Amino acid sequence: MGSRCRLTAAQATILFLKNQHVERDGTKTPFFAGCFGIFGHGNVAGIGQALQQNPDFPYFLPRNEQAMVHTASGFAKMSNRLRTFACTSSIGPGATNMVTGAATATINRLPVLLLPGDIFARRNVAPVLQQLEFSQTQDISVNDCFKPVSRYWDRISRPEQLLTALPAAMRVLTSPAETGAVTLSFPQDVQAEAAEFPSEFFTQRIWNIPRPRGDAEALNRAVTLIRSANQPLIIAGGGVVYSEASLALARFAQQTGIPVAETQAGKGSLPFDHPQSVGAMGVTGTPGANILAREADLIIGIGTRYSDFTTASKTAFQNPSVQFININVAEFDAAKHGGLQLVSDAKVALEELAAVVTGHQVSSDYEDRIAQFRTQWEKEVERLFHLHNGPLVSQSEVIGIVNSVCAPNDVVVCAAGSLPGDLHKLWRTRDPKSYHLEYGYSCMGYEIAGGLGVKMAAPDREVFVMVGDGSYLMMAQEIHTCLQEHCKLNIIVLDNHGFGSIGGLSQACGSNGFGTHYRYRDGGQLSGDFVPVDFAANASSMGASAVRARTVDEIRHALIRSRAAKQTTVTVIEVDESARVPGYESWWDVPVAEVSETKAVRDVRHDYEVKVKRERHFI
């Protein structure tokens, strides 16, 4: 029998995590960069004590549990899922605060390890502070809420269970196909309980991140489909970026002439000026991408999960004989749309395909159309970047200024509101890691917390967080954590006095923006003047250097100063909500009331019933 060491369950956990590494393409890195945590009675004496005794596994103090999970997600996304953080919370509200963060991570397929404290395993002192009791069983706690939002969930009721739970957690976290939030629910008494662990459990372990190769027969069939297609279109999703397949994609697209449209997570797969790039795909897409998708006889989806924003709620592909090739590490996604499943790493699949479709090229007519769409689109972007809107600037002008102030490697971070759609259409990406959108969960509040994670993963890059006033009001407190960690963010708050995006949607659905603006209650309704918020004062109070900027020149100068600054800055810009970027050749299914007292709603419903008929099943 080998040597053994006596440790608490919490100490064993931290010691194990410290020794986990990953390796891909010959590069080895520690998987965990440390642990974020907010302590309470449910973890202070367990995980908290263990972290204190392992100073080489850094501890970070955030301001909110949801935010710390977003920070871990931002870090993991920026690291192409090769690194992440553990996150520990107390029991009860501290734990459930992490549920939204867990869902955000899982939907975006990002690894985060959650260690929520849990109620006593020994039970005799129940109900403990913050314990929600259930009359039908004692074998449940609020931490069971993590089950549907985690890719692996376990409860550590005895210390020795760690011997099987921790490796299982690592397998899922490092699996390109299965990764997401992993939750190990950790009863408060078990954390502090000691047991004998085999020393070899704590030796360095390397998890090789595979690049799985597709089935040879599936590859042959894919080649046949590609050779016989007249109007193929590639849809590049997040899998292209995570697999670091940008160069392989650029070569394949150049070699074959096949145009490439990008999802939110896939944006940046190609530089915006690549001759085959037709830009954003779907609801927030460009005319070129959406017209080509509508007519395409072959869609090659690479690393995409085909969300409704990509498929225009299943209306994007109207060619009656359209077929799909789905290149994806996850069989689950590869099987979508009745497609040919090439279950493979994106980079490997693109290299293999490039080697076997040699000599194949799309027609010159098709290439001319792509070039035309590209030229027309660049003109439209220029128009929107220089709208000369007044008296307030438009959001598109602000995006143009931020884009021009950014160096190619700088990163823009965003998540919810009207900004994601405008950025998806307009932002000119010049580096695969320069565009960071959390648009799987589109979680308001991700922006600043996630931006901190991006900066921690890439300290040499300037990070520009673009955030709406609504999102800022939901979760701005991590500015304080940025100051603590000397992590500099360039935060830009776009103030349109409420929910511009949902206000627009409400208008489009005939409901006139009901409940979407920050207005005083007046005559029973929220219809008074705007309730003012001094965002600059709010940000300064947490230590950021904050300014207000109004004109195009003021904004440009403020951002140039911000980029040069050493500490976190916040630039507050009031924007004209009515100067919206339009949609192009697409549609999104948001069901409109079937019966209503309002004529506007009835009219919109009529139009809705026509449009919804274009939704297709791909069986």
Ligand X SMILES: Cc1ncc(C[n+]2csc(CCOP(=O)(O)OP(=O)(O)O)c2C)c(N)n1
**Which residues lie near ligand X (CB under 6 A)?**
416-419, 442-445, 468-471, 496, 499-502
Selection from Mg ion, ligand X, none that 442 binds (CB < 5 to 8 A by kind) is ligand X
Closest approach, Cβ 494 to Mg ion, in A, equals 7
Selection from Mg ion, ligand X, none that 444 binds (CB < 5 to 8 A by kind) is ligand X
Tokens of 155: 């409860």
Query: Could you give the angle at the alpha carbon of 421 between the alpha carbons of 572 and 533, nearest 5°?
Result: 25
Q: By the 8 A CB rule, do 104 and 265 touch?
A: no
Closer to ligand X by Cβ: residue 301 or 417: 417
Closest approach, Cβ 175 to ligand X, in A, equals 28
Selection from ligand X, Mg ion, none that 111 binds (CB < 5 to 8 A by kind) is none
Selection from Mg ion, ligand X, none that 80 binds (CB < 5 to 8 A by kind) is none
Closer to ligand X by Cβ: residue 24 or 517: 517
For the chain, first and last CA: distance in Å? 56
Closer to Mg ion by Cβ: residue 403 or 496: 496
Closer to ligand X by Cβ: residue 209 or 423: 423
Selection from Mg ion, ligand X, none that 396 binds (CB < 5 to 8 A by kind) is none
Closest approach, Cβ 600 to ligand X, in A, equals 21
Long-range pairs for 588-594 at CB < 8 Å and ≥24 separation? Answer: 588/283, 588/308, 588/309, 588/312, 588/313, 589/308, 589/313, 589/314, 589/315, 589/615, 590/505, 590/508, 590/509, 592/509, 592/510, 593/509
Selection from ligand X, Mg ion, none that 304 binds (CB < 5 to 8 A by kind) is none
Contacts with Mg ion, residue ranges (CB under 5 A): 468-470, 496, 500
Query: Of the candidates 518, 510, 468, 466, which has an alpha carbon nearest to the alpha carbon of residue 489?
Result: 466
Closest approach, Cβ 507 to ligand X, in A, equals 12
Selection from ligand X, Mg ion, none that 416 binds (CB < 5 to 8 A by kind) is ligand X
Closest approach, Cβ 399 to ligand X, in A, equals 12
Please report the DSSP string for 541-553 in residue order.
Answer: HTT-EEEEE-SHH
Tokens of 326: 């789905």
**Separation CA 117–CA 456 (nearest Å):** 26
Tokens of 379: 């003109």
Q: By the 8 A CB rule, do 153 and 146 touch?
A: yes
Closest approach, Cβ 574 to Mg ion, in A, equals 10
Closer to ligand X by Cβ: residue 44 or 443: 443
Q: By the 8 A CB rule, do 415 and 66 touch?
A: no
The residue nearest Mg ion at its CB is 468
Query: Could you give the angle at the alpha carbon of 492 between the alpha carbons of 415 and 534, nearest 5°?
Result: 110
Closer to ligand X by Cβ: residue 80 or 100: 100
- Stated as kind and residue range, the H or E segment containing 600 is helix 599-611
Closest approach, Cβ 530 to ligand X, in A, equals 13
Closer to Mg ion by Cβ: residue 42 or 468: 468
Please report the DSSP string for 49-64 in residue order.
Answer: HHHHT-TTS-EE--S-
- 200 Cβ contact list (under 8 Å, min separation 6): 2
Closer to Mg ion by Cβ: residue 134 or 530: 530
Selection from Mg ion, ligand X, none that 370 binds (CB < 5 to 8 A by kind) is none
Closest approach, Cβ 398 to ligand X, in A, equals 11
